[in-house]
Structure 1
Amino acid sequence: MSRWPQCEPNGTRPGAMRGNATGRWAEGCGAVSVAFPLTMMIAGIVGNALAMLLVSRSYRAKGSRRKRSFLLCIGCLALTDLLGQLLTSPIVISVYLSDRAWGAVDPSGHLCVFFGFSMTVFGLCPLLIASAMAVERTLAIRAPHWYASHMKTQVTKLVLLAIWLAVLAFALLPIAGLGRYTLQWPGTWCFISTGHSLFFASAFAVLGLLSLVVTVACNLATIQALVSRCRTKGAASRSSKQWGRIAMETLIQLLGIMCVLSACWSPLLITMLKMIFSQTSFEHCRAFSSAAQSPDLHKECNFFLTAVRLASLNQILDPWVYLLLRKILLQKFCQAASAVSKCSNNEWKERSITLSEEIRRTAA
């Protein structure tokens, strides 16, 4: 494995450049301490563990039969994010404690392959699971009769297992010779190389973007169906109201996860496609070690590093979205959504009648 320039604690390295170039090196390489990945790991483990606990309790509840498929997806998403944190964060922390010298932690290069494999698996799985969740809710709301007769929890388990197996097989392609995992700037993590196999890198980016598009499209279709149902049904039965509440709760959770996925993954996926089309690789970020570094190169490399950190942040934010969007916040949101979509026309009529009666009594 080719060696990246080692970052010293004071931001310089032996025999490196002087002057402005040294300042830029310190800015690009020493901007984050070990406290950052350590904090991210703790927040991710706590959040995902709490989310799995709440999902387990909700799944065992008697009134959760209509939500069990969705809860399985939520639980699988939390488990995936938790495993991703446990497998990748300790490696990053070890590299930071070694003054960002990957070669000292991984002289053979096998750990880099494992890290890149983990990044691919635990990056693509949440995207596809979120798409499966969006499709599941769309079917439940737009085709409830078909959903009730065909969409069993066993089917959901098979779909989630198929996603896991497909992503694992895809991530193993570089080990089989199609694609490559390489050390990335600033030498603290490994990921797909965009300079060796365009097919593997482009396949990852396209699959990720397609899953985001499917998630957004399905959620928009679900919103449209919910609004139409609220407007067409004036007086609903108790069971129908309960179904609508469950659908609204899961929809809001889906929207939260969708927003987090889009914000965290879009920059990295779009940047990867841009690199593929321009036939460039961020391995040229090694130019940080030369005195002839350009400001444009500095911006590109730091933007790529920021995009990766945003993608890693997704594993932490996913469970907290589920934890925060619980009953208290959901009830307030449902009340606001009900007013906007005119779902409570009858209530407003009753209030207006009551108000007019009070005015008449006062006048009398």
Structure 2
Amino acid sequence: MLAVQHCNNSALHVDEGFSNQTQQVLGVAPVRCRENLNTTTNPTAAGLSMTLGIVSNIIALIILAKAYARLRKRSKATFLLFASSLVATDLAGHVIPGALVLRLYISGTAGGLCNQSDATCHFLGGSMVFFGLCPLFLGCVMAAERCMGVTRPLLHARMVCTAHTKIVLVMIWLLALSVALLPFFHLGTYIYQFPGTWCFINVLDNTSITDVIFVLLFSGLGLAALAVALVCNTISGVTLVIARLRKKKCHRRSAKSHDIEMVAQLVGIMVTSCICWSPLLIFGLMSVIRSYSGSMGDDLETYRTLMVMGVRLATWNQILDPWVYILLRRAVLKKIYRITTGRSDLKGSTFRRWEISSFQNSMKSVINRN
């Protein structure tokens, strides 16, 4: 998805007057078409956002691919497969809807008819729902998998494998696709949204009960995924802290370094998703409920602005997700530690102990398999 740009309200098409006159003759309330579209809108900001997202996700994919090839037989392989799928989905979420939006900008056909939709709008709206739900579902499943790995390592070793991970990934994509396709079965509708440069679920104008159900499903699934991720990451973090404290008191071996690293990355992904997606999910619910109940009144412009702000924030989730993984790796944290402390020798440091612990666990795993 791309960042949505504001457009001027002054650019009206010549056919608007004829259309409104025709509607008045027929006794239908006039509908202002393309009321927010400025044909001179500069697509530079959208192009820069798309480029930044693509570059960020490609860098993260390269790093993840190298790490997965190196750690394929270790417990971190499942996490890396999920993370790679998350980054690949974010990349597709920039390329597919982004290319369509840029094409509409360049051709000067962005906006369509207000309160109406066409094939382009249906595809763009479905893409936004699909590529919006997938990262939330993936973050939720990754948090649940790591929670099991930290709290129930034996159960995790028996149940979680690469084959099961791939099945879960397919199920996640199919679930998100099923939700995105509901308007094609007349449950909800996709329409052009203010300022006419993006398509999404109808939450503001002439909403029906099916629109309310669709928004409740979309926002409910998204918020539920964030809540589950929050609970699982909290449990994982508390468990690791308790293990660390017990180690200090009883002189036991501390938690594995890659567990700490993965939970830190998951917390970063969860915080990013909450900040970026919660506004759009909540604003969508508020808007459709007020619109359907007829209590929108003079707040229509306010809710239009809130929806634009929400989709802009949601767009940044796909840009920030890869950087969470890139920056919260142990290699990067070690360099930051060296720079901030001015120490080139990591003997006795937490990073050094993490590395030794991780190496010992890897050697034991190899010996046990042989």
Indicate conservation of the 8 Å contact 1:51/1:323, yes or no. yes
Residue of structure 1 in register with 2:324 after alignment: 321
Residue of structure 2 in register with 1:65 after alignment: 74
Indicate conservation of the 8 Å contact 2:283/2:303, yes or no. no
Letter of the 2:189 counterpart: R
Letter of the 1:173 counterpart: L
Per-residue deviation, 1:249: 0.7
Higher relative contact order, structure no. (Cα contacts within 8 Å, ≥ 6 residues apart) = 1
Would the alpha carbon gap of residues 62 and 272 (structure 1) be closer, same or farther in structure 2, given more than 3 Å must change? Answer: closer
Per-residue deviation, 1:298: 3.2
Q: Sequence identity, in percent?
A: 37
Match of 1:299 among 267, 277, 302: 302
Residue of structure 1 in register with 2:343 after alignment: none
Match status 1:256 vs 2:259: no
> Match of 2:184, SS?
coil
Would the alpha carbon gap of residues 31 and 254 (structure 1) be closer, same or farther in structure 2, given more than 3 Å must change? Answer: farther
Match status 1:125 vs 2:137: no
Indicate conservation of the 8 Å contact 2:140/2:228, yes or no. yes
Residue of structure 1 in register with 2:240 after alignment: 226
Residue of structure 1 in register with 2:164 after alignment: 155
Per-residue deviation, 1:55: 0.9
Per-residue deviation, 1:101: 3.6
Letter of the 2:256 counterpart: G
Match status 1:41 vs 2:41: no
Looking at structure 2, the residues matched to 251 and 330 of structure 1 have their Cα atoms a distance apart, in angstroms, of 14
Per-residue deviation, 1:95: 2.7
Q: TM-score, normalised by structure 2?
A: 0.75
Match status 1:245 vs 2:257: yes
Alignment of 1:22-37 (within 5 A): 33-37=42-46
Match status 1:310 vs 2:313: yes
**CA offset digits 1:250-269 (Å, max 9, x no partner):** 11111111111001000000
> Match of 2:199, SS?
strand
> Match of 2:192, SS?
strand
Match of 2:281 among 257, 269, 279: 269
Indicate conservation of the 8 Å contact 2:57/2:319, yes or no. yes
Residue of structure 2 in register with 1:22 after alignment: none
Looking at structure 1, the residues matched to 40 and 229 of structure 2 have their Cα atoms a distance apart, in angstroms, of 34
Alignment of 1:52-91 (within 5 A): 52-62=61-71, 65-91=74-100
Looking at structure 2, the residues matched to 57 and 189 of structure 1 have their Cα atoms a distance apart, in angstroms, of 36
Per-residue deviation, 1:331: 4.0
Per-residue deviation, 1:79: 0.9
Looking at structure 1, the residues matched to 98 and 180 of structure 2 have their Cα atoms a distance apart, in angstroms, of 19
Would the alpha carbon gap of residues 255 and 7 (structure 1) be closer, same or farther in structure 2, given more than 3 Å must change? Answer: closer
Give the RMSD, CA atoms, in angstroms. 3.3
Indicate conservation of the 8 Å contact 1:252/1:325, yes or no. yes
Per-residue deviation, 1:154: 1.2
Match status 1:94 vs 2:97: no
Looking at structure 2, the residues matched to 113 and 255 of structure 1 have their Cα atoms a distance apart, in angstroms, of 34
Indicate conservation of the 8 Å contact 1:29/1:186, yes or no. no
Per-residue deviation, 1:74: 0.4
Indicate conservation of the 8 Å contact 1:219/1:255, yes or no. yes
Letter of the 1:199 counterpart: I
Looking at structure 2, the residues matched to 188 and 279 of structure 1 have their Cα atoms a distance apart, in angstroms, of 21
Would the alpha carbon gap of residues 68 and 328 (structure 1) be closer, same or farther in structure 2, given more than 3 Å must change? Answer: closer
**CA offset digits 1:159-178 (Å, max 9, x no partner):** 11111111112211111121
> Match of 1:178, SS?
coil
Looking at structure 2, the residues matched to 146 and 325 of structure 1 have their Cα atoms a distance apart, in angstroms, of 27
Q: TM-score, normalised by structure 1?
A: 0.76
**CA offset digits 1:150-209 (Å, max 9, x no partner):** 211211111111111111122111111211111111111111113232111110000000
Looking at structure 2, the residues matched to 32 and 255 of structure 1 have their Cα atoms a distance apart, in angstroms, of 38
Q: Which runs of 5+ in 1 are unaligned?
A: 1-5, 17-24, 285-292, 337-342, 348-364
Indicate conservation of the 8 Å contact 1:11/1:30, yes or no. no
Indicate conservation of the 8 Å contact 2:90/2:318, yes or no. yes
Match status 1:137 vs 2:139: no
Residue of structure 2 in register with 1:216 after alignment: 230
Indicate conservation of the 8 Å contact 2:280/2:311, yes or no. yes
Residue of structure 1 in register with 2:188 after alignment: 179
Looking at structure 2, the residues matched to 65 and 299 of structure 1 have their Cα atoms a distance apart, in angstroms, of 51
> Match of 2:183, SS?
coil
Would the alpha carbon gap of residues 315 and 14 (structure 1) be closer, same or farther in structure 2, given more than 3 Å must change? Answer: same
Letter of the 1:59 counterpart: Y
**CA offset digits 1:21-56 (Å, max 9, x no partner):** xxxx99x97998412110111111111111111111
Indicate conservation of the 8 Å contact 1:34/1:96, yes or no. yes
Would the alpha carbon gap of residues 329 and 145 (structure 1) be closer, same or farther in structure 2, given more than 3 Å must change? Answer: same
Would the alpha carbon gap of residues 266 and 187 (structure 1) be closer, same or farther in structure 2, given more than 3 Å must change? Answer: same
Per-residue deviation, 1:321: 1.3
Looking at structure 2, the residues matched to 329 and 216 of structure 1 have their Cα atoms a distance apart, in angstroms, of 25
> Match of 1:186, SS?
coil
Indicate conservation of the 8 Å contact 2:117/2:191, yes or no. no
Looking at structure 1, the residues matched to 64 and 240 of structure 2 have their Cα atoms a distance apart, in angstroms, of 24
